[in-house]
Amino acid sequence: MIKPKYHVMICTSCRANGVQKGFCFSQNSPELVQRFMEEVDDRGLSSEVMITNTGCFGICSEGPIVAVYPEGVWYGKVKSDDVAKIVEEHFEGGQPVKSLMI
C-alpha cells in the first residue's frame, strides 16, 4: 500500500448521489482536481501526493476549498493558476502558501 506524504482533498461539491452542484463546482473546482493531478504527475510526485475530490466542506464563502493533510492546511478561493505554486512551495518545498491559507 502506498502511503503518500500529502493527501489533497478538493471540494467539487459532489453529492451522495453523485451529482455535482454547489459553489465550489460553479467555480470550476473539477478543473482544479485535473490541474493538481497533472502538476503532481509532471513533477514526479505521484507516489507522494494523493488527490481526492470531496463533497462540501461547509465553508462555501471560501471556495473552492483545498485541504492538505496530514498538516491540516486549508486553502481557500483556489484558482487554477494557484496549483503550481501550491505544488512547488508546499509539496516540494515543505512550506504552505500562506497567502492562500484560510
What is the reported pTM? Answer: 0.91
Residue 44 lies in a domain: yes
34 and 83 Cβ atoms separated by less than 8 Å: no
Residue 96 lies in a domain: no
The CATH number linked to 19 is 3.40.30.10
Residue 93 lies in a domain: no
Grid cell listed for 26: 460553479
Q: State residue 22's pLDDT score.
A: 82
Cis peptide before 64 (omega within 30 of 0): yes
| Mean pLDDT of the 3-11 span | 95
Residue 2 lies in a domain: no
Structural domain for 70, as ranges:
8-78
Q: State residue 3's pLDDT score.
A: 85
38 and 44 Cβ atoms separated by less than 8 Å: no
Residue 27 lies in a domain: yes
pLDDT in tens, 17-69: 777 778 888 888 999 999 999 999 999 999 999 999 998 898 989 999 999 99
Q: State residue 1's pLDDT score.
A: 59
